[in-house]
A and B are shown apart, each in its own frame.
Chain A
Amino acid sequence: MKQEEYNFEKEQFSLTMIPGKFARAMRTCVIWQFFRFLVLNIKMIIVVGKSH
């Protein structure tokens, strides 16, 4: 059974979303995450700017 399917077996978790292998891999993929790091920083700087 896949990791996410195992977790879905539990009643409390059955109505939520659990990431599959690809989504999990992207979270620790250094190249993709470096790009997201830049995007997140820009977005956060805009939020900080709008807040001052």
Chain B
Amino acid sequence: MARLVVLGGGVAGHTTATFAAKWLGSEHEVVVVTPNSQWNWIPSNIWVGVGQMTKKDVTFDLAPVYAKAGITYYQAKATSLNPEGNETSDKPFVSIEYTEEGKAGQVENIEYDYIVNATGPKLNFGATPGLGEGDQLGEHTVSVCTAGHAVHANEKLQEAIEKMKGGTRQKFLIGTGHGMCTCQGAAFEYIFNIEHELSKAGVRDMADIKWISNESFLGDFGMGGLHMKVGGYVVSSKLFAESLFAERSIEWLIGAHTSKVEAGKLHYELLDGSTGEEEFDFSMLIPPFAGVGLKAYAKDGSDITDTVFAPNGFMKVDADYTPKAYADWKAADWPRTYQNPSYKNMFAAGIAFAPPHAISKPMKSPNGTPINPTPPRTGMPAGIIGKAVAHSVCDMITKGDAAHLHEASMAEMGAACVASAGKGIFDGTAAAMTVYPVVPDFEKYPGTGRDTDYTFGEIGLAGHWIKHVLHYLFIYKAKLNPGWTLIPE
């Protein structure tokens, strides 16, 4: 009997564990180690953050689902890996620390034959003074990155709405909290939902809404922008995004590194080196992401974290990490199998793998401050990678370590992004976008790096309905309800 340990019960880890458990059956053991007791459909946190959904609507308990799937579940966080075992045993193991009530703080080692790191991001609020401490959100701004954060964001939003109803103008500042953030799409969606809710509440004219982001142009989205088919034209996402903002009278400040946050005030540095301040009454800033800080030790106890992980804490996989100039970046730099180059029984899936480089053009201010988005690894790629990795591990278990590994390169994979702007079935709209592939391939698609037949954008109710359908479909799938394997990632 082989044991697969999956670290992280998010989009990628849950996909890996549930498929592996289904394919391996009871002959082998699948273990999930994750600090949360609940699964969260993160994209719908946006609607929690504007009071249109509750935390309960976007989460469910993991324990019964894992029990049904025959998965061994530890509510704990992984702290370190010993891929060669230790001085007393050759068996690789992961050290965990329980987070479960009643056991919190207790530590244990779990041996494994195969391990998949799907620990997602550390929400690195501490990287920006005033934004928070470590992975803890500070007191000056709100976040929608977790369901709990989104509940808090909505409380603050409702307070602001009450103030506006009482005649006090409010300034809303939404965007990225650091020069090296990713996940602009989430902030993008949130700002439009805020605008929609303020209009609905009849207080839009009492609000000044502003976007602040590290993108060098609006619509970069951490993918260097995209050229998409819209209404028969192929246009840059810059035009598409600017149109959305202009239509709603939302101003933007781009190429901005948030350098410090204080009560009601944000300090920034721009790509031209100038600095400035923005005041706010309500601010939602996405933190930069880092790896969750797992350590790795060799058999003799020496620290091999640098061998297994990149400096940003994400796990090294089969990418080409050779430092290269932007002009030399290639689609082939991106990983295909997500296998760790040093330890063949170790994989990373979703946000946890170290990308070879950004997708957006790297930029610095004259002061040397890097200001450019880091690459997004959204839900669809996270799920597809999670499934490919599950396939590979199952084949290695059943056919031996020489089994052919399954591939899922982000340069051959699309992503569907539906950014809602309000939740009503008949008055909501959404910008529905698909991009294919996520990482542009200028050898295959010399014009824009992408297939413009499948890279398109559209605004309207239809996208909004799709967003609704996806919410129910993915929660249904994640609960392993009948037919769940038929629903694509």
Contacts and interface: CB of A to CB of B under 8 A. Distances in A.
Interface of A: 4, 7-8, 10, 12-13, 15-19, 26-28, 30, 32-34, 36-37, 39-41, 43-52
A39 B231 CA distance: 13
Given A7-B247, A51-B413, A40 B461 contact: no
Contacts, number: 98
Interface in B190-244: 239, 242-243
Interface of B: 239, 242-243, 245-247, 249, 251-252, 380, 384, 387, 408, 412-414, 416, 426-427, 429, 432, 434, 436-437, 454, 456, 458-463, 465-466, 488-489
Contact of A7 (B249, B414, B460, B466): B249
B243 A16 contact: yes
B416 A33 contact: no
B246 A13 contact: yes
Given A28-B460, A47-B416, A51-B380, A16 B239 contact: yes
A27 B196 CA distance: 15
B462 A40 contact: yes
Which one of B384, B412, B434, B437 has the highest number of Cβ atoms from chain A below 10 Å of its Cβ? B434
Interface centre among A10, A19, A49 (most CB of B within 10 A): A19
B434 A43 contact: yes
A29 to B, nearest CB: 8
A36 B462 contact: yes
Contacts of A7: 246-247, 249
A12 B242 CA distance: 9
B466 A40 contact: yes
B218 to A, nearest CB: 9
A1 to B, nearest CB: 14
B239 A44 contact: no
Given A10-B251, A13-B249, 13 more contacts: A13-B242, A18-B247, A19-B247, A27-B460, A28-B427, A28-B429, A30-B426, A30-B461, A36-B462, A40-B458, A40-B462, A43-B456, A48-B416
Contacts of A32: 460
B252 A33 contact: no
Contacts of B414: 47-48, 50-51
B488 A52 contact: yes
